[in-house]
Amino acid sequence: MSASLIERTPSAYDYPLLIKHLLHTPLATAPEQEIVYRDISRYTYRTLCQRISRLASGLSGLGVRLGDTVAVMDWDSNRYLECYFAIPMMGAVLQTVNIRLSPAQILYTLNHARADVILCHTDFLPILDSIKNRLETLKLFVVLSDGGSDAQVPSPSIKFAAEYEELLRGGTEDFDFPDFDENTRATTFYTTATTGDPKGVYFSHRQLVIHTLVTLGTLASPARVSVSIAATSTCQLPPCSTFMPGASPMWQQLWASNRSIQAATCLIRYCP
């Protein structure tokens, strides 16, 4: 049959490999599966998706647009997981700031990445305060903490546009995440500067989705379909975020407790 005679189905969808599509399976198979951050936060995948939407809505209200770089200085918290999805899903770039670098090196990475916005935990405000006058592109500061909006901010010299939880409360749960080229930059992080300045590395939506699928195929058990894992790694290796529907309880426990396994999965993308 001639290609010119083939009609495209009206409902056909050119499915791009975007991070937002990783949320479909856990919502469909395990919406009530819990995500736990220490003894501070416990909520379901359903709530995670609502918070992701609220965060994107709040950041959009602050003026974050496609292509902007949003830096995050935080511990491995539920907030980091939310940022890992919300920021790239908006079409912005998530910069995972390496908190183990010196203040001078952190300054270098923020300027080199041309970060527009930073979300900073109160524990790292003294670092941010020490370099704020040399930041070249940062326009907005958002403060976050384990204490939420009730936390004491120890750095009054920095003018914050919002507090994280207040930002989410002002957002909506139905943010319209757009489609765009799957090769769009999603994340950027920097090496530990063992030789010279830290080196920037970027990952696209396509690369991160394929990485997740590889991890799923490596660790998931086909006999189990009712369990999902949400995990982020903000180590000096490439940051990874993986949803693994079907992972066995053993892998859940190992993944949650063993950073070396998380780091090893980060390296899968480099294997020939």
Q: Which domains does the chain have, with CATH numbers?
A: 17-201 (3.40.50.12780)
pLDDT, tens digit (0-9, with 9 covering 90-100), for 28-72: 888 898 888 888 889 999 999 999 999 999 999 999 999 999 999
Q: Which residues are CB-neighbours of 144 under 8 A, at least 6 positions away? A: 74, 79, 119, 120, 121, 122, 163, 164, 165
pLDDT, tens digit (0-9, with 9 covering 90-100), for 107-135: 999 999 999 999 999 999 999 999 999 99
Q: What integer best gives the mean pLDDT of the chain? A: 81
Helix (H) or strand (E) holding 140, with range, is strand 140-144
d(CA 207, CA 17): 8
Of the candidates 264, 227, 231, which has an alpha carbon nearest to the alpha carbon of residue 247? 227
* pLDDT at residue number 176: 95
* pLDDT at residue number 71: 98
* pLDDT at residue number 11: 82
Find the Cα–Cα–Cα–Cα dihedral 202, 125, 263, 184, rounded to 10°: -20
Looking at residues 78-100, what average pLDDT do you find? 95
* pLDDT at residue number 157: 81
* pLDDT at residue number 51: 96
d(CA 152, CA 26): 35
| Angle at CA of residue 78, ends 201 and 144, nearest 5° | 85
**Length of the chain, in residues:** 272
* pLDDT at residue number 267: 33
231 forms beta bridges with 242
Band the pLDDT of 185: cuts 50, 70, 90.
Answer: very high
